[in-house]
Amino acid sequence: VILDEIGRGTATFDGLSIAWAAVEYLHEKNRCRAIFATHFHEMTSLAGKLARLSNVTMRVKEWENDVVFLHEVGKGAADRSYGVQVARLAGLPEAVVDRAKEVLHQLE
C-alpha cells in the first residue's frame, strides 16, 4: 500500500488524526507492507510505539543557505521541512520568500 500525504487537505489536527489512525489501522489490522509519505512530523513518534514501523527520509544537503535534494532515502526521520527553500527554487518572488521566512520564524 502506498499512501501520500493523507489528511493534508483539511485542518491540521484533523488531518494529523486521520493520518495517525490510518497508520495504526494498517499496522494492527491489515498488517500490510506500506509506504506512508507525510509532512506531519509528529507521526515519527509512532516508530517507537509500533513494532514493525520505521522512519525513513529523503536526504538533503544544506549548502550556502540553499538546499540540494540528493534523491536518496536515508534511515531516520526528517528534523525539518524545506518548504521555503522549495518556494525559492520554484521561482516565487524574493519578497514572498523573504516574508515567508519571517512568518515561519514567528510561528516556530
- Provide the grid cell at 88: 525559492
Contact 28, 61 (CB under 8 A): no
Helices assigned H by DSSP within the chain = 12-25, 83-89, 94-107
C-alpha cell at 5: 500525504
Predicted local distance difference test score (pLDDT) of residue 66: 85
pLDDT digits (tens, 9 = 90+) for 8-66: 999 999 999 999 999 999 999 999 999 999 999 999 999 999 999 999 999 999 988 78
92 pLDDT tier (thresholds 50, 70, 90): very high
C-alpha grid cell, residue 73: 532515502
